[in-house]
């Protein structure tokens, strides 16, 4: 399989595919953008990048679940087990993360992307922890609703019924597919530190991610359940700055 024999090529082809999708969406922006976003360069740029990320999540989230459904032993053989199907998933996801630039102005998300890319490249090149990366990609199920939330905020739809229902589904999937999956991997690594290769590096990255996802979860709950919807703030250059919470 090409992913197994040429992983770097597969990653680059994946990155090219997602970048091409981004360019197509930008070219068709006149037909696809909501009126609240049209005519604003910053909002349009974010809308396009979030749409690409949503496509990625809609593909890789169910893909990760299907990998584990087909091979349940992935949940226990975190270090050694992998299949061609799961290895291809990691390569495709790494390609997307390489071209992901929607959140690079946010330090928290920039750190997240750097950690994910470095960890996934290590996994792709060593073939260790492929099953662990698949479990980590359960987060993409939640990302479907997380990206939908941000798209609705861009469209000033925080008071819509869709946003109302989405925020509850978002919190539920955040707990199940992001927090629980992440903490399960952390538990597995910490209880097997003495026998896992490069366990210190993996543990460090996992715990850094734990801090970030807890911080973001706090911000998510605070914004969607304890504050009135925020809109856009003007900076000194008269450009709109989107509220990231």
Residue 61 lies in a domain: yes
Q: Is 233 strand, coil or helix?
A: strand
Contacts 24+ apart (CB under 8 A), 118-124: 118/205, 119/202, 119/205, 120/90, 120/93, 120/94, 121/94, 122/198, 122/201, 123/90, 124/7, 124/8, 124/11, 124/87, 124/90, 124/91, 124/94
Arithmetic mean of pLDDT over the chain? 85
Residue 213 lies in a domain: yes
- Beta bridge partner(s), residue 233: 241
Residue 241 lies in a domain: no
Residue 153 lies in a domain: yes
DSSP code of 37?
Answer: T
| pLDDT given at position 23 | 86
| pLDDT given at position 236 | 36
Residue 132 lies in a domain: yes
Closest CA to 113 of 123, 102, 124: 102
Residue 197 lies in a domain: yes
| pLDDT given at position 108 | 54
* Residue-level pLDDT, tens digit, the chain, 245 residues: 666 778 899 999 999 998 898 888 877 766 677 888 877 778 888 888 889 889 999 999 999 999 999 999 999 999 998 889 999 999 999 998 888 755 444 555 667 778 888 999 999 999 999 999 999 999 999 999 999 999 999 988 999 999 999 999 999 999 999 999 999 999 999 999 999 999 899 999 999 999 999 999 999 999 999 876 554 444 333 344 444 45
| pLDDT given at position 43 | 84
* Entry pTM: 0.87
Q: What are phi and psi for residue 110, nearest 5 degrees?
A: -65, -45
Residue 198 lies in a domain: yes
Residue pair 65/139 in contact (Cβ under 8 Å)? The answer is: no
| pLDDT given at position 6 | 84
The string of pLDDT tens digits covering residues 71-99 is 999 999 999 988 899 999 999 999 988 88
Tokens 């807890």 -> residue: 214
Domains of the chain: total: 1
Q: Which domain holds residue 74?
A: 2-27+40-227
Residue 243 lies in a domain: no
Angle subtended by helix axes 41-70 and 139-154, to nearest 10 = 160
């Amino acid at each position: 399989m090409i992913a197994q024999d040429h992983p770097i090529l597969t990653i680059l082809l994946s990155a090219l595919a997602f970048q091409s999708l981004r360019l197509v969406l930008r070219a068709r922006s006149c037909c696809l953008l909501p009126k609240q976003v049209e005519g604003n360069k910053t909002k349009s740029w974010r809308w396009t990048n979030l749409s690409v990320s949503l496509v990625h999540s809609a593909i890789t989230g169910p893909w990760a679940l299907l990998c584990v459904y087909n091979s349940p032993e992935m949940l226990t053989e975190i270090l050694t087990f992998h299949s061609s199907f799961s290895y291809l998933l990691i390569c495709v996801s790494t390609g997307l993360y390489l071209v992901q630039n929607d959140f690079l102005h946010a330090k928290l998300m920039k750190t997240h992307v750097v950690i994910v890319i470095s960890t996934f490249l290590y996994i792709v090149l060593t073939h260790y922890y492929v099953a662990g990366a698949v479990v980590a990609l359960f987060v993409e199920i939640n990302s479907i609703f997380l990206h939908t939330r941000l798209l609705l905020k861009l469209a000033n739809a925080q008071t819509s019924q869709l946003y109302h229902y989405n925020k509850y589904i978002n919190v539920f999937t955040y707990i199940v597919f992001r927090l629980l999956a992440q903490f399960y991997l952390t538990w597995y690594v910490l209880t097997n530190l003495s026998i896992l290769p490069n366990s210190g590096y993996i543990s460090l990255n996992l715990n850094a991610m734990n801090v970030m996802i807890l911080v973001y979860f706090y911000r998510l709950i605070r914004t969607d359940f304890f504050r009135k919807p925020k809109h856009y703030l003007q900076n000194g250059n008269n450009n709109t700055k989107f509220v990231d919470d």
